[in-house]
Amino acid sequence: MLLEQINQPSDLKRLKVEQLPTLAQEIRQYLIEQLSATGGHLAPNLGVVELTIALHYMYNSPDDKFLFDVGHQAYVHKILTGRKDRFHTLRQYQGLCGFVKRSESEHDVWEAGHSSTSLSAAMGMALARDYKGESNKVVAIIGDGALTGGMAFEALNHIGHEKSNLMVVLNDNEMSIAPNVGAMHNYLSKIRSDRTYVKAKEELEQLLKKIPAIGGKLAKTAERVKDGFKYLVVQGMLFEEFGFTYLGPVDGHDVSKLLETFEQANRVEGPVLVHVMTTKGKGYSPAEADSHKWHGITPYKIESGQVMKAVGNPMYTEVFGNVLMELASQDERIVAVTPAMPGGSGLLKFAEKFPGRMVDVGIAEQHAATMCAALALEGMKPIFAVYSTFLQRAYDQVVHDICRQDANVIFAIDRAGFVGPDGETHQGVYDIAFMRHIPNMVMMMPKDENELRRMMKTAVDYNEGPISVRYPRINGTGAVIDQELTPIPIGQWEIVRKGDSAAILAIGPMIPVAEEASELLKREGLNIRVINARYIKPLDEEMLLQLAKEHLPMVVLEEACLAGGLGGAVLEFYATHHIFNQIVYPIGVPDYFVEHGSIKEQRAEAGLTAEHLVEEMRALLYSRGDNRLSRA
């Protein structure tokens, strides 16, 4: 097998061009087999096999820089750059990352789990190259879906203005995760349909050369004639207007054509854009038939394409989608907004039932947030359904456009907390810290799926400003669902377990952890009060004052970063109320980026387990000289 001979890009260059399609078939089969066991981003990587082979065959990584936008389409790149033997550890705890990671390989020069960053990074690397007087190539590989991100257009504008020598490979598969939307998608569709453009332009050039000389004017205007023809055939030619030389479209599964196009690009001075047409899921029929489902997939059976899913309670995402449909049936003001994640955010059924009230803006979180502000100010009830990690991208809009104007936007923050195999670029542990301090914001987190339903009812009934509900990427607890949806009074916490030895204030999935620790400590004669601190903002001030009155030492437990989290909020409360003798011990995610693995492994690493909590509670009470721990 050819693949067995490839351990570094230099090995690839020993092959003949005629052998590369065979290598592509072997890599494609290798991906299908490996990901059937580990899961991962199958469809995107099946689509870029030949493209990645051609890039490494033509250029010299790591001297030449490859910047993969998002990075989840870099599995083939990993295989060709010496990580084939570790590929079975993909997305596993302490194994290979599912995205590009600089610490893994010198060939990984840019890390990204969020889209639309590659062009700005490529510009930075091109500038650094030029400042240092070097001559290496800089190549950004970006999908058509990522071009809906405004940052990509900012970079296109700057690159074209500076006339920097770099190449952008536009991997056009008509998909990001969900089907692409918007004018850019329609524009690319027009280019795709005009496959005769390049051939026609070449024929026109040949024709002009054959016309007998009729003076210097025709020679001087030849280029303008070709440009006029270009605008006639492909209206706009957006990329050339940005200052790029446009090459393509080219078949992204034809290695020879790709190499020929890259050679042509190498002769171009200034920025060049190579438009590559690929098929997402190429070579595996289930993935080709449903590339949305197979974008990121759990383990599966190769022969049948049957996905191996754990049986359990519905995920919080599904519960959110169902209750939103229920609420939307009662309130015509409700509009669901998502940045290119209708499936991941649980909104596909909503879109079917209320197609006119579902807005997918593409990968454009900033635009989505500001649009939601305007919707709210005009009397609508926008539900901004967004992953915690992607909401980071709209921070300024949340502050400036939503909270400052006190717009009644409802944030449905999915993937709040650890996210498992997606790892450090996607961890949803920062939203409390970057939202809690903003004036006018209300923040909630449910302990179970029934409370999520009640919180969505609370949010829809709330009319006084922005309000957010955050929920994790896990299955629900199997809670009994109330027949009638009732709101939860703003700022009201709940005692879920009584006790007078100490208290644990916990939120979301940390409630069961706190209850388990409380049960373990009960065997040692300690009665630990467990409080569902479901309102992160505003706090339940009455309950906090009562805890201080009882002099109960407390632990604040949250699956969120310690800095700026709920624990900090409780400490701030006591400080501002001049209560200086209250013992508060925050436990949360340490001050580093937690890498990929299972959520269970990530919690264990961060110390968010019942066993660790028991140890901390013992230490806390020992520090007070509590003699009831003498037999612990």
Q: Which residues form the catalytic set?
A: 280, 365, 393
SS3 at position 479 = coil
Q: What is the dihedral of CA 116, 119, 121, 124, to 10 degrees?
A: -150
SS3 at position 15 = coil
With beta carbons less than 8 A apart as the criterion, state whether 488 and 458 touch.
yes
SS3 at position 560 = strand
DSSP tag of 460: H
With beta carbons less than 8 A apart as the criterion, state whether 566 and 514 touch.
no
Cα Dmax for the chain: 107
The DSSP string of 147-182 is GGSHHHHHHHHHHHHHT---EEEEEE-SBSSSBP-S
**Which residue, among 531, 579, 572, has the nearest Cα to 555 in the 3D structure?**
531
With beta carbons less than 8 A apart as the criterion, state whether 585 and 558 touch.
no
Tokens in use for 552? Answer: 């109960």
Tokens in use for 112? Answer: 């990204």
Helix axes 118-131, 150-162, angle to 10 degrees: 30
**Residue position matching structure tokens 């809009």:** 397
Alpha-carbon span 585 to 571, nearest angstrom:
9
Q: What residues have CB less than 8 Å from 212, skipping those under 6 apart?
A: none
Task: Cite the DSSP H helix spans in 268-407.
Answer: 285-289, 316-330, 348-353, 365-377, 388-391, 395-397
Cα angle 551, 555, 558 (rounded to 5 degrees) comes to 145
Alpha-carbon span 67 to 124, nearest angstrom:
11
Q: Which amino acid is at 458?
A: T
Backbone angles phi, psi at 391, to 5 degrees: -65, -25
Q: What residues have CB less than 8 Å from 231, skipping those under 6 apart?
A: 237
Q: Distances in Å between the alpha carbon of 335 and those of 314, 324, 362, 584, 585? A: 24, 10, 16, 41, 41
Tokens in use for 509? Answer: 């999935």
**HEC string for 221-277:** HHHHHHHHHHHHHCCCCHHHHCCCEEEEEEECCCHHHHHHHHHHHHCCCCCEEEEEE
With beta carbons less than 8 A apart as the criterion, state whether 456 and 468 touch.
no
Full strand arrangement of the beta sheet holding 442-444? 358-360, 334-338, 381-387, 410-414, 467-470, 442-444, 535-537
With beta carbons less than 8 A apart as the criterion, state whether 496 and 548 touch.
no
Alpha-carbon span 476 to 450, nearest angstrom:
9
SS3 at position 103 = coil
